[in-house]
């Protein structure tokens, strides 16, 4: 096994984000169009064998961390088998999954048993009407039930992700951050990225600094080396994280590579470059992973609502 993959800018690339589907049971306005996406043919998508083979290829190059995402990974029929097999790949030490939480009431326990250690759950609002408006399909009740079950299931660390949307949830910053006082979980605020589909107006972008302005009692907390800058409220059980891809990009410490559900390796979320792996052998996949790492840009370039992401696909098609 090769030890590690250092890219041209000295970054140790060891984290694969694997999108297992571009389908979703929700239609968040900043992510996916109402009508869904033009479905690709089944034979254009990676099979379970290929997904596992890509993880094996990455692990053989020194990747240790894997996050399963989508679309919504829990709508994938064989998700438990995919998780079980990925967790068993030699070299993979951490298996995490990102979900909207809607299907967790049925799947939290089986996912834990399949080897998923960590969960990130998306939750942008605590208001049922706003939740329905933003997701166009789901109910807050379903998402909260999913979070509560996840908390009882023994995942190592649960993180709630809220996309900051001016005029939509900025008034809920204290309430969302306040969840860390009640529950042993982290709440992370993510700046809205101008990419693919979004129906939200330019005014919807607000900087993560707004969280510090609204919550002056937040104190810097011990950092964990991840992309979020961590703070905490006095007496809290979890941390508040700020993820600022626009206002303070974290490209200098980017250690990730993405693989889309249709088999394209992406060196950077915001670049159009991609390296196909569909139909390749494990060795050929490993070569493509090396090529994608070599193509990682130093940073994603300026991003703003005037200067949009060079990636034109929707977030659900790439894997958030």
Sheet of 275-276: strand order equals 219-220, 229-232, 240-243, 186-191, 158-164, 118-122, 94-99, 65-69, 15-19, 256-259, 264-266, 275-276
Give 68-107 as a DSSP string. EESS-GGGSTTHHHHHHHHHTSTT--EEEEEE-STTHHHH
**Nearer residue to ligand SF4 within complex by CB, 32 or 116:** 32
Tokens of 215: 């919550």
**Nearer residue to ligand SAM within complex by CB, 56 or 189:** 189
Q: What does the CA dihedral 98, 101, 308, 129 come to, rounded to 10 degrees? A: -170
Do the beta carbons of residue 159 and residue 171 sit within 8 Å?
A: no
Measured CA to CA, the distance from residue 144 to residue 165 in angstroms comes to 20
Query: Could you tell me which stretch among 1-9, 93-101, 174-182, 256-264 binds ligand SAM (CB under 6 A)?
Result: 93-101
Cα separation values, 272 from 267, 278, 298, Å: 9, 18, 15
60 part of the interface to ligand SAM, by CB under 6 A: no
Tokens of 296: 């990682």
**Nearer residue to ligand SAM within complex by CB, 12 or 25:** 25
Query: Could you tell me which stretch among 26-34, 44-52, 83-91, 154-162 binds ligand SF4 (CB under 6 A)?
Result: 26-34
**Nearer residue to ligand SAM within complex by CB, 114 or 318:** 318
The nearest distance, CB 26 to ligand SF4, in angstroms, is 4
**Nearer residue to ligand SAM within complex by CB, 190 or 211:** 190
Which of 13, 16, 24, 254 lies at the binding interface for ligand SAM (CB under 6 A)?
Answer: 24
Number of residues that bind ligand SAM (CB under 6 A): 20
Interacting partner of 69 out of ligand SF4, ligand SAM, none (Cβ under 5 to 8 A depending on kind): ligand SAM
122 part of the interface to ligand SAM, by CB under 6 A: yes
Locate the DSSP E strands across the chain: 15-19, 65-69, 94-99, 118-122, 158-164, 186-191, 219-220, 229-232, 240-243, 256-259, 264-266, 275-276
The residue assigned the tokens 């005029």 is 167
**Nearer residue to ligand SF4 within complex by CB, 143 or 236:** 143
205 part of the interface to ligand SAM, by CB under 6 A: no
Interacting partner of 193 out of ligand SF4, ligand SAM, none (Cβ under 5 to 8 A depending on kind): ligand SAM
107 part of the interface to ligand SAM, by CB under 6 A: no
**How many other C-beta atoms are found inside a 10 Å radius of the C-beta of residue 54?**
25
**Nearer residue to ligand SF4 within complex by CB, 32 or 230:** 32
Tokens of 198: 């979004």
Site residues (vs ligand SF4, CB under 6 A):
24, 26-28, 31-32, 70-72, 100, 122, 315-316
Site residues (vs ligand SAM, CB under 6 A):
24, 30-31, 69-70, 72, 98-100, 122, 161, 163, 190, 192-193, 195, 198, 315-316, 320
């Amino acid at each position: 096994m090769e030890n590690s993959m250092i890219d041209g800018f000295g970054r140790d690339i060891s984290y694969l984000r694997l999108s297992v589907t571009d389908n979703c049971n929700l239609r968040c306005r900043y992510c996916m169009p109402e009508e869904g996406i033009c479905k690709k043919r089944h034979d254009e998508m990676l099979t379970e064998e290929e997904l596992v083979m890509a993880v094996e290829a990455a692990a053989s190059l020194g990747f240790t961390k894997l996050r399963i995402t989508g679309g919504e990974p829990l709508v994938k029929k064989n998700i438990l088998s995919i998780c079980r097999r990925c967790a068993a790949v030699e070299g993979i030490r951490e298996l995490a999954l990102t979900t909207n939480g809607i299907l967790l009431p049925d799947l939290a326990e089986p996912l834990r048993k399949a080897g998923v250690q960590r969960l990130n759950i998306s939750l942008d609002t605590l208001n049922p009407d706003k939740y329905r408006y933003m997701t166009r399909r789901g109910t807050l009740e379903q998402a909260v039930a999913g979070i509560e079950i996840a908390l009882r299931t023994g995942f190592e660390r649960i993180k709630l992700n809220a996309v900051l949307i001016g005029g939509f949830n900025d008034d809920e910053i204290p309430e969302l951050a306040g969840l860390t006082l009640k529950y042993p979980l982290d709440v992370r605020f993510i700046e809205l990225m101008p990419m693919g589909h979004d129906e939200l107006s330019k005014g919807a972008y607000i900087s993560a600094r707004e969280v510090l302005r609204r919550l002056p009692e937040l104190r810097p907390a011990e950092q964990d080396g991840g992309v979020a800058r961590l703070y905490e409220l006095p007496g809290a059980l979890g941390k508040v994280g700020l993820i600022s891809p626009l206002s303070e990009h974290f490209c200098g410490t980017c250690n990730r590579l993405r693989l889309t559900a249709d088999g394209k390796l992406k060196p950077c979320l915001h670049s159009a470059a991609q390296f196909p792996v569909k139909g390749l052998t494990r060795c050929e996949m490993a070569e493509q992973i090396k090529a994608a790492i070599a193509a990682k840009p130093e940073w994603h370039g300026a991003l703003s609502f005037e200067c949009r992401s060079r990636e034109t696909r929707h977030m659900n098609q790439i894997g958030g």
